[in-house]
Amino acid sequence: MDFLEFSSISSEQRGSMATGRLKLTNEAIIWKSDKTGKVDEISSGEIECANYQRFVGHFGLRLFLKNGTLHRFQGFKEDEKKLADFFKKHYKLEMLEKELSMRGWNWGNVNFKGDVLSFDINDKTAFEVSISNVSQCNQGKNEITLEFHQNDDAPVSLMEMRYHIPTTESSETDPVENF
Amino acid sequence: GKESEKVRKSTVSYKSVNQMPREPEVKDLKLYVDKKYETVIMPIFGLPVPFHISTIKNISQSVEGDYTYLRINFFHPGATMSKTEGGTYSNPDATFLKEITYRSINTKEPGEISAPSSNLNTAFRLIKEVQKRFKTREAEEREKED
């Protein structure tokens, strides 16, 4: 059996990064938390798309599943090619780069895919929010407020976001309906 | 001409991820203020997201019980702008992030050098500082143009 294993890979859990070990086998991707021993297993058939994202000094793996959920792992130090080859060989998936927007703008477009809200600036994603992190969503005039579940494991925890929505857009009722 | 002057400049924070600072705060998903690029890097669900200082309207901080809160208000259409801030938005049809609030614990865990909320305190101070410098420079440039 062919496999890849990485230590000190962090997994995003409600806005904080928990470190653990990531193991890729022929059939599944398994992440085990160092602290709690919690295991996340994703079978390769569940993956709809796999991307890598470049960060400062390391890169991250982004998995979007067929059920609409998003999984993210960070802390890969080596060349992404090794991982990409593994995905291609065993999962028949092309792992492409998903570049992040570094522009620093607060305006863009909000797109929904599965359970994921993504804020895109010029076709590049600036950030993504899983709807499961949202505790409450309110709609006002030209405004959407998202409140998030709090996580005291994170050094700083995101509480609330407000968006200004132009009047012409009707698709923005989606987040409210998602609850 | 005068029209183009009025349009708020679309300042860009970083050209690529390589310009992002290699600071532990960025990796640890804390707030980081990059003075060189005049950018605030904010953690949003696992991603360090840059916001240029020119997008930030004002910030406020409060302490309630065991927590410190930092609220960052961004410029967006529909908000009143003073004359000095001036200008219009180059793309009013976009969705704007208006406001973002962070929360942090004030109490130290055993073994921690400082409480988690010290990051929000530092960010508050530095954002004010960089914002002040940016505004002063903008005002000077406007004066030169006049």
Q: Is residue A41 part of a domain?
A: yes
Which whole number is the average pLDDT over A61-71?
Answer: 95
Which of A42, A70, A97 terminates a domain? The answer is: A97
CB contact under 8 A, A128 and B47: yes
Which whole number is the average pLDDT over A24-44?
Answer: 94
Q: Do A131 and A166 have their domain in common?
A: yes
Rounded to a whole number, what is the distance in Å from the CA of A5 to chain B's nearest CA? 22
Q: Do A115 and A171 have their domain in common?
A: yes
Rounded to a whole number, what is the distance in Å from the CA of A147 to chain B's nearest CA? 9
CB contact under 8 A, B29 and A169: no
Domains and CATH numbers, chain B: 13-84+93-145 (2.30.29.210)
Query: The tokens 């050098």 sit on which residue?
Result: B113
**Stretch among A48-52, B52-56, B78-82, B139-143 having the lowest mean pLDDT:** B78-82
CB contact under 8 A, A107 and B78: no
SS3 per residue for chain A: CCCEEEEEEEEEECCEEEEEEEEECCCEEEEEECCCCCEEEEEHHHEEEEEEEEECCEEEEEEEECCCCEEEEEEECCCHHHHHHHHHHHHCCCCEECCECCCCCCEEEEEEECCEEEEEECCEEEEEEEHHHEEEEEEECCEEEEEECCCCCCCCEEEEEEEECCCCCCHHHHHHHCC
pLDDT (tens digit per residue) in A99-112 = 999 999 999 999 98
Q: Which residue has the higher pLDDT, B89 or B17?
A: B17
Whether chain A has a CB inside 8 Å of the CB on B51: the answer is yes
B50 pLDDT above the threshold of 90? yes
Q: Do A81 and A119 have their domain in common?
A: no
Q: Is residue A80 part of a domain?
A: yes
Which of A71, A97, A123 terminates a domain? The answer is: A97
A-B CB pairs within 8 A amount to: 157
Q: Do A93 and A118 have their domain in common?
A: no
Closest Cβ–Cβ partner in B27, B39, B69 for A104: B39
DSSP conformation class of B140: H
Q: CATH number of the domain at A57, please.
A: 2.30.29.30
Q: CA of B108: which chain A residue's CA is closest? A: A155
Q: Do A74 and A156 have their domain in common?
A: no
**Polymer length in residues for chain B:** 146
Distance of alpha carbon B25 from alpha carbon B32, whole angstroms: 6
Q: CATH number of the domain at A156, please.
A: 2.30.29.220
CB contact under 8 A, A160 and B101: yes
CB contact under 8 A, A129 and B44: yes
Q: Is residue A154 part of a domain?
A: yes
Q: Is residue A125 part of a domain?
A: yes
Rounded to a whole number, what is the distance in Å from the CA of A178 to chain B's nearest CA? 19
Chain B contacts of A97, Cβ < 8 Å? none
Whether chain A has a CB inside 8 Å of the CB on B43: the answer is yes
CB contact under 8 A, A104 and B44: no
Rounded to a whole number, what is the distance in Å from the CA of B29 to chain A's nearest CA? 8
Which of A97, A118, A136 terminates a domain? The answer is: A97
Q: Do A76 and A118 have their domain in common?
A: no
The number of distinct structural domains making up chain A is 2
Q: What is the ipTM of this complex?
A: 0.90
The reported pLDDT for the residue numbered B2 is 36
Q: Do A120 and A76 have their domain in common?
A: no
The reported pLDDT for the residue numbered A79 is 79
Chain B contacts of A17, Cβ < 8 Å? 29, 46
Q: CA of A147: which chain B residue's CA is closest? A: B101
Q: Give the structural domain span for A121.
A: 109-177
* Type of residue found at B109: E
Closest Cβ–Cβ partner in B26, B30, B96 for A164: B96
pLDDT (tens digit per residue) in B76-94 = 887 655 444 445 566 767 8
The reported pLDDT for the residue numbered A140 is 84
Q: Do A152 and A120 have their domain in common?
A: yes
Distance of alpha carbon A150 from alpha carbon A159, whole angstroms: 7
What backbone torsions phi and psi does residue A66 show, to the nearest 5 degrees? -65, -25
CB contact at 8 A, A150 and B104? no
Q: Do A15 and A52 have their domain in common?
A: yes
Q: Is residue A145 part of a domain?
A: yes
Q: Do A11 and A92 have their domain in common?
A: yes
Q: Do A39 and A82 have their domain in common?
A: yes
With 0-12 / 13-18 / 19 or more C-beta atoms within 10 angstroms meaning exposed / middle / buried, residue A5 is exposed
Q: Do A86 and A8 have their domain in common?
A: yes
